[in-house]
Amino acid sequence: MVEIFANNLINWILLVILLGVLWARVTPAMFASRKDRIEAALKEAEAARVEGQTFLKEQERKIENAEKDAEQILVEARRVAEEMRVQMAADTKTEAETIRKKIEQQIASEKQQAITEMRSQAATVAVRLAEATLPGAVSDSARKRLLGEFIQQVDTIGANK
């Protein structure tokens, strides 16, 4: 039994030594490889983090620039709208003044035309009336004098208005 025990013990010792030697040869390479992979993954993660921060800062800068551009566009649009409003008000005022002047001219023209027509009709009526009522009562010289006075009075009345 001692011999079995001694053989088993020797087997166990040899097994432990063999495992120790294999452990010493295999595991450092295995751990070094694992360490290298972990370090590479950490470097990649750090590079990705830096890249992400750079991208984030770039996007924030672009957003800030876009907000500034939008504000400038709004300011310019407000300025243009105000200029257009002022221009439209001026154009409207000018157009209203032009229309008012045209209407005043038309009124004056129509008034003058009406006065001229009235004078013409009054003269015609006066002449017919005089021809009908005064043919024998008034001499030709008196008739011409009365007609001239009447036309002069009509002209004076028309000129006063």
User: Over 70: is that where the pLDDT of 1 sits?
Assistant: no
Cα(75)–Cα(110) distance, integer angstroms: 52
| pLDDT value for 23 | 83
C-alpha neighbours within 13 Å on the C-beta side of residue 23: 6
pTM (2 decimals)?
0.42
Computed on alpha carbons and rounded to an integer, the radius of gyration of the chain in Å comes to 61
Of the pLDDT bands very low, low, confident and very high (cuts 50, 70, 90), residue 135 is: low
Range name among 33-37, 131-135, 152-156 with the lowest pLDDT average: 131-135
Of residues 96 and 154, more confidently modeled: 96
For the chain, the structural domain boundaries read: 8-160
Count of residues making up the chain: 161
- Share of residues in the chain with pLDDT > 70 (%): 92
Q: How far apart are CA 71 and CA 53, in angstroms?
A: 27
Mean pLDDT of all residues in 40-50: 94
